[in-house]
Structure 1
Amino acid sequence: MKDRKSQDRVARIQADWHRERPDIDVSPQRVIGRLHRLAGRLSEELCVVYGRYGLSEGEFDVLCALRRAGEPYERAPGELAAHTMVTTGAMSKRIDRLERAGLVTRRRSDDDQRGRIVALTGPGLELIDLAFTEHMRNERRLLDLLTPAEAELLEPLLTRWLSRLEHRSVDPMARSGPTD
């Protein structure tokens, strides 16, 4: 066994669990634990850029969804929720803050007077173009910690895993095999 000082945090936690609960297979931590830590670290690194523009991660996501819509850079709130994978309640709070900041506007839908449309303002478009440019430079910096060959191997693995996870039962504890 490796010296504890040469092990990463996940390996140390796994060794502790193996010592305390040798009856449980803790090998999934080798991947899941590291991915979980990596996701946290990546979020921290990404949020630094959003913060420079006075945005939270969710607000950045809303502005990006509007920008990706193309001219006239607008979507219905339900559409925004679908494009950002958040609830409509959380979306309303994000839109409220972005509207107060003058980055988006809301208006009645031309097709359905009960519906609303959210649109980027001129300052919102300018801000998201600057923020997204810096965001992509930041993502490149983070991805460059891997070699191009490593990144090329990782991308299809993550794509398959995410696809399988997203297409399974809504129950997070659902089994893919027969039940007991």
Structure 2
Amino acid sequence: MPTGVHIRDAREQLFDAAERVLLRDGPNALTSRAVTTEACCAKGVLHRHFADFDGFLAELVLNRIDRIEHQAAALRGSAGTGTVAGNVTAALTTLFESVAVAIVALVISRDDLRARLRRARPTGGVPALTEAAAMIASYLTAERTLGRVAADADVDTLAPTLIGAGHLLFADRKSAPPQPVAIRKVVATVLASVVPESQR
């Protein structure tokens, strides 16, 4: 596409292209040329919207983290419905079947990107995983208030445990995704001491 042609929603088009490259080829293949080629636009389009490529990557990660925050609101809204283990299983599946696993690999592989993200969101931990753990903690807190999770449940320990276990299940991009029964088993095991059997 010639440089002078206007691209509607160029930022989102570039983010979607980067996500496709990331999912298909991994973080090492993610270059400005790969992104603009995938987006079918001139390389200058990326640099018109972002100061540099690491700035683009930081905005990509922050954009995808915003999606986790939308998912968190929906998950909190499900408190009191279904089963606790079923809701957490569905949340982990939605989270890790998306680009989240690839985003974590990208963040871990690029020091400058990690530094930029920490300046933008000084929450500590690994970006995306930190927000995912907060999502699960918030949901478990809501369920604890409703009495479906034990009153003494340490949600701030359970949440990162569930995120870590979920991440391990989905981390191998070369293999088929885990079966729902395997995810449910891990969730039920982690929650066994704080969630009654009827909620598992």
* TM-score normalised per structure 2: 0.29
Q: Structure 1 or 2: larger helix share?
A: 2
* Structure number, greater radius of gyration: 1
Q: Which has the higher strand share?
A: 1
